C-alpha cells in the first residue's frame, strides 16, 4: 500500500509489506528443509492480468472496480521529485533541482485538498498525451533508495530491494511488470508480476512451434513504494490503472521541464545538485542537506545523519549554523521534534524500561537522538525534558549566559541527595555552599589526600593474591568508600564503614527509580538508606560539638571549626542540613563515580596493548625515581602526562556521568527551537563525547587525541562553567594513583569482556564488574630474566 493525500492523511508503511508467497526454509544453520505456507497465491496464465468482480461507481474515485486488462493501464515513468505538500499556494510538488510545481486535480470532482505538511513522495508521470502526475506518499527511505537506483548511486551495503531482485533471478523467475492497481480510502495498492524465465531454446520453441508449457505466472500484493523500487532495479514497465490516474492524477499549471527517469548512469547529478540559472538558492541548500542526511542513513552512518538533520532543521527554522543560538523575538521559531508520549505518563514507561535493560538508561536517549536529531524533547515523570548534544549549546547553557538556566535533577535524585546539596541548590544558594566548601579542596588538602589514598591503595592491593580472580568494580568501590569516609568523617573501619558503603550503594540504585514512597519499592529503600546516613552524620556532629571523643582532622571538623567565622566575603556558616547533604553528595561522587571510572580504565587499557605498553614505560620510570615504600606525591602525579591522557580518554569513552541537567528560568530560544520556562534541559555529554564530528575516530580508544588542544566544550566528564565538579582534581588524583599502583604491581587479563550496563545505574557501571586474573610484575620479571 502507498498513501494517497485525497483526504490529507498520511499513514506510512514499513519498507516491505506482506507478500503472498510460499516461504521455503533451507538447510541454512543446519535446519532441515521444510515448507511454511503463507497465503500462497499462484496460478498459471498466458497473459498477465487479474480481474475484480465489482463494477465502477461512475466517478472512478475509488478506481478499484474494473475488469483488469492490458488496455486498462497506461505506462508511467518516475519523476525526480523530493516531496509534496498542500497549502495556501495549492498542491505543490518539489523537484530535486529545487523547482516547485503547482498542480490541480485532474478530476473536477476531486474537491479542495486540505492543508498538510511536506511529505516524501514517489511521483509517477503518465506516458500518454495527458502527462498527468500521480503522487504517492511514502517514507523517506523508499524515496531516497528509489532516487539512488535511478541515479545509479552505489550504496555500501545491499538494500532489501536488491536482495529481492537477486532472489527472484536465482529462483529462475523474471519480474515482468509492476502495476498500481487501486486505491482504497487513502491507501494505494500495487501488484508485482513474475513469470518463469525461458531459456533461449525454450523461447524459440514456444514462439515458433508453440511447444512447451505455459509460462508459470504469479502476482504479489505489494506497497507501491516497494513495487516501484523493485521495478526500477529490474528495469521493467511501471503501469497505472487509467481510471486511477484520471481520478487521482494532478495536472501541472506552473512548471518547467520535468526530469524523468533515464537508463544511463547519472551519479554526479545525484551528488552535486543542479542549480537553476547556475546560482545557489535556498531550495538547493535544503535539498543538499536532505540528500546528505538520507545518504548517511542508507550507509548506516547514524551520527552523521543526526548532524545533517539538525542542520536541516536549523535551515527550515530560518537559521543557519553560524547564527547565534538566541533568536530574535520576531524571527520564526521551530518546535522541538520529539514525542511527549501518553497523557500524564509521557514516555516514563519507556524510560524505566531502558533503565531496567542491559543497555542502560542512555539507550532511551540514544534511540530518540537517532530518530529526532541532536535536539529532541520528551516527557518524563510529568515534566518536559529536552536533550541537547552540541558543543555550542553546551557552552551557552553550562555558562548560564543571561542567567536563563539553573540546575535541577529529577525528583527521585533531588529527594535522595537533599535540597541543600550542591547538586540541587539554586544559583545564589549554590554560590554560598560552594564558597564554604572550596577551601577544603585546596592544593595543600589535595597533597595530603594523595599520600593518604596511596597508602590505602597499597594496603588493598597487598591483599590481592597472584593468579586469583579479582572483580575490579567490587574492590574499587570498597577502596573509594574507605577513602571518602576517612577524608570526610574519619571513619576507617568497622560497622559504620560497612553501613556507609551499603547505604550509599542503595541510594545510587534508587536515583532513577519512580518516586513512590511505598514500602518495598526501590525509592523507599533509598530514602531509608539516606536516613541511616543522616543519623550517622547527626551523631558525629553532636559528639564533636559536645567535645566527646578525640579530636579528628577531616572535612567535617574543618567545617565545624569555621562555622562561627565569616569569610572575606562575609559568607554565613553552613547549617547542619547543608553540611549533611553535601557530605552525602561527596560520598556518592567519590564512591560511585570514581570507582566506576577506575573499572572502565582497567577494561580499556586491557583492550589496547599499545596503550598499556606506553603507559608501562611512563609509570616504571616514575616508580624507579623513589623507593617502593615511598608514597606518591602531588608532584609525581604531575609527571604523568600520558597517564593523564589515558584517564581523560577513559572518561570520554565511558561517560560515567551521561548528561547534565538544567532548568529554563525564562522562555528562550536555542538552536532555533523554542524553550519554555520550567522545561528541563539536559546536556547530552555522552553524545558529545562520541560525536565523530567533534572527535576523530570517536569510537577508538586513543589517549593521544588529547595531545592536541581539544575543541571547547568537547570534554564534559566533570561539567563546565560555574557548576564544574568541585572535586575534579581529587577524582583525577585518585584515578592516577590507582592506575600507577596497578600498572607497577600487577599484570592482568580481563576474563569477562562483556560491556553490558548494570540495571538501575545512574552512573555508567559494568554489569560484569570487570573480573581480572592477576599476575605479579615481580614474578613476570623473574621469568623473563
> Which residues contribute to the annotated binding site for heme?
725
Place of cell 578525640: 550
Among 78, 74, 77, 57, residue whose Cα is nearest residue 66: 57
| Cα–Cα dist 292/100, whole Å | 21
CB-CB neighbours of 641 under 10 Å = 12
Show the DSSP H helices in 317-464 as ranges: 348-355, 362-372, 391-398, 411-417, 427-438, 443-462
CA dihedral 258, 261, 263, 266 (to 10 degrees): 70
Conformation bin of residue 697: beta by default, left when phi > 0, alpha when psi is -120 to 50: left
Helices then strands, counting H and E runs in the chain, come out as 26, 25
Distances (CA, A) of 715 to 127, 687, 712: 58, 11, 8
Query: Are the C-beta atoms of residues 675 and 668 closer than 8 Å to each other?
Result: yes
Query: Are the C-beta atoms of residues 488 and 556 closer than 8 Å to each other?
Result: yes
Provide the annotated binding site: 725
| Cα–Cα dist 388/386, whole Å | 7
DSSP line for 304-322: HHHHHHHHHHHHHTT--TT
| Cα–Cα dist 422/118, whole Å | 47
Show the DSSP H helices in 715-785 as ranges: 728-745, 777-784
| Cα–Cα dist 166/160, whole Å | 10
C-alpha cell at 348: 516514563
Among 656, 630, 618, residue whose Cα is nearest residue 476: 656
Give the strand order in the sheet containing 383-388: 375-380, 383-388, 680-684, 659-664, 405-407
Cα-flanking dihedrals φ and ψ of residue 561, to 5°? -70, -30
Amino acid at each position: 500500500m502507498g498513501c494517497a493525500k485525497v483526504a490529507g492523511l498520511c499513514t506510512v508503511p514499513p519498507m516491505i509489506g506482506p507478500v503472498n508467497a510460499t516461504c521455503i526454509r533451507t538447510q541454512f544453520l543446519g535446519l532441515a528443509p521444510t515448507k511454511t505456507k503463507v497465503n500462497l497465491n499462484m496460478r498459471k496464465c498466458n497473459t498477465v492480468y487479474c480481474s475484480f468482480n465489482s463494477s465502477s461507481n461512475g466517478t472512478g474515485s475509488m478506481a478499484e472496480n474494473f475488469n483488469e486488462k492490458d488496455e486498462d493501464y497506461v505506462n508511467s515513468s518516475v519523476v525526480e521529485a523530493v516531496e509534496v505538500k498542500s497549502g495556501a499556494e495549492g498542491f505543490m510538488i518539489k523537484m530535486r533541482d529545487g523547482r516547485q510545481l503547482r498542480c490541480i486535480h485532474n478530476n473536477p470532482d476531486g474537491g479542495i485538498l486540505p492543508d498538510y505538511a511536506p511529505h516524501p513522495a514517489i511521483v509517477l508521470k503518465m506516458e500518454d498525451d495527458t502527462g498527468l502526475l500521480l503522487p504517492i506518499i511514502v517514507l523517506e527511505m523508499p524515496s531516497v533508495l528509489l532516487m539512488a537506483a535511478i541515479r545509479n548511486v552505489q550504496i555500501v551495503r545491499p538494500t532489501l530491494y536488491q536482495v529481492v531482485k537477486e532472489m527472484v533471478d536465482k529462483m529462475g523467475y523474471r519480474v515482468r511488470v509492476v502495476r498500481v492497481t487501486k486505491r482504497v480510502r487513502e491507501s494505494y495498492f500495487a501488484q508485482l508480476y513474475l513469470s518463469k524465465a525461458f531459456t533461449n531454446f525454450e523461447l524459440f520453441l514456444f514462439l515458433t512451434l508453440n511447444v512447451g508449457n505455459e509460462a508459470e505466472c504469479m502476482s504479489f500484493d505489494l506497497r507501491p513504494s516497494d513495487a516501484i523500487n523493485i521495478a526500477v532495479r529490474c528495469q521493467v514497465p511501471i503501469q497505472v490503472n487509467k481510471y486511477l490516474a484520471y481520478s487521482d492524477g494532478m495536472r501541472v499549471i506552473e512548471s518547467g521541464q520535468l526530469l524523468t527517469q533515464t537508463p544511463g548512469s547519472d551519479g554526479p547529478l545525484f551528488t552535486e545538485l543542479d542549480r537553476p540559472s547556475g546560482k545557489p538558492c535556498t531550495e538547493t541548500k535544503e535539498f543538499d542537506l536532505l540528500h546528505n542526511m538520507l545518504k548517511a542513513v542508507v550507509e548506516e552512518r547514524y551520527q552523521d545523519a543526526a548532524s545533517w538533520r539538525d542542520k536541516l532543521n536549523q535551515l527550515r527554522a530560518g537559521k543557519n549554523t553560524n547564527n547565534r543560538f538566541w533568536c530574535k523575538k520576531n524571527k520564526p521559531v521551530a518546535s522541538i521534534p520529539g514525542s511527549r508520549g501518553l497523557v500524564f505518563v509521557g514516555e516514563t514507561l519507556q524510560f524505566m524500561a531502558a533503565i531496567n535493560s542491559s543497555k542502560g538508561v542512555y539507550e532511551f536517549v540514544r534511540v530518540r537522538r537517532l530518530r529526532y536529531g541532536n535536539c529532541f524533547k520528551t516527557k518524563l515523570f510529568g515534566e518536559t525534558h529536552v536533550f541537547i548534544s552540541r558543543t555550542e549549546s553546551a557552552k551557552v547553557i553550562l555558562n548560564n549566559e543571561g542567567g536563563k538556566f539553573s540546575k535541577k535533577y529529577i525528583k527521585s535524585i533531588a529527594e535522595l541527595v537533599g535540597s541543600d546539596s550542591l547538586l540541587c541548590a539554586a544559583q545564589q544558594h549554590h554560590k554560598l555552599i560552594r564558597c564554604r566548601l572550596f577551601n577544603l579542596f585546596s592544593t595543600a588538602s589535595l597533597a595530603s589526600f594523595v599520600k593518604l589514598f596511596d597508602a590505602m591503595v597499597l594496603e588493598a592491593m597487598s591483599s590481592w593474591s597472584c593468579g586469583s580472580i579479582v572483580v575490579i568494580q567490587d574492590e574499587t568501590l570498597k577502596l573509594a568508600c574507605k577513602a571518602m569516609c576517612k577524608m570526610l568523617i574519619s571513619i576507617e573501619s568497622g560497622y559504620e564503614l560497612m553501613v556507609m558503603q551499603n547505604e550509599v550503594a542503595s541510594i545510587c540504585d534508587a536515583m532513577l527509580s519512580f518516586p513512590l514512597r511505598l514500602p518495598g519499592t526501590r525509592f523507599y529503600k533509598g530514602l531509608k538508606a539516606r536516613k541511616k546516613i543522616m543519623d550517622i552524620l547527626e551523631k558525629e556532629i553532636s559528639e564533636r560539638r559536645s567535645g566527646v571523643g578525640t579530636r579528628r582532622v577531616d572535612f567535617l571538623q574543618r567545617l565545624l571549626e569555621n562555622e562561627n567565622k565569616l569569610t572575606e566575603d562575609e559568607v554565613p556558616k553552613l547549617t547542619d542540613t547543608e553540611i549533611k547533604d553535601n557530605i552525602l553528595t561527596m560520598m556518592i561522587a567519590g564512591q560511585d563515580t570514581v570507582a566506576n571510572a577506575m573499572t572502565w580504565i582497567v577494561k580499556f587499557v586491557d583492550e589496547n596493548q599499545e596503550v598499556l605498553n606506553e603507559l608501562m614505560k611512563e609509570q616504571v620510570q616514575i616508580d624507579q625515581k623513589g623507593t617502593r615504600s615511598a608514597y606518591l606525591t602531588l608532584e609525581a602525579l604531575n609527571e604523568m602526562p600520558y597517564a593523564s591522557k589515558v584517564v581523560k580518554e577513559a572518561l570520554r569513552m565511558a561517560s560515567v556521568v551521561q548528561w547534565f541537567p538544567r532548568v529554563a528560568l525564562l522562555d528562550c530560544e536555542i538552536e532555533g527551537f523554542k524553550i519554555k520556562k520550567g522545561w528541563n534541559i539536559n546536556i547530552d555529554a555522552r553524545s558529545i563525547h562520541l560525536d565523530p564530528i567533534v572527535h576523530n575516530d570517536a569510537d577508538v580508544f586513543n589517549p593521544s587525541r588529547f595531545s592536541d588542544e581539544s575543541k571547547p566544550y568537547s570534554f564534559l566528564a566533570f561539567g563546565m562553567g560555574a557548576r564544574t565538579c568541585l572535586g575534579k582534581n581529587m577524582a583525577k588524583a585518585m584515578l592516577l594513583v590507582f592506575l600507577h599502583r596497578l600498572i607497577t604491581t600487577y599484570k592482568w587479563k580481563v576474563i569477562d569482556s562483556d560491556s553490558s550496563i548494570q540495571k538501575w545505574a545512574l552512573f555508567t557501571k559494568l554489569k560484569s564488574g570487570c573480573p581480572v586474573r592477576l599476575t605479579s610484575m615481580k614474578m613476570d620479571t623473574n621469568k623473563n630474566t
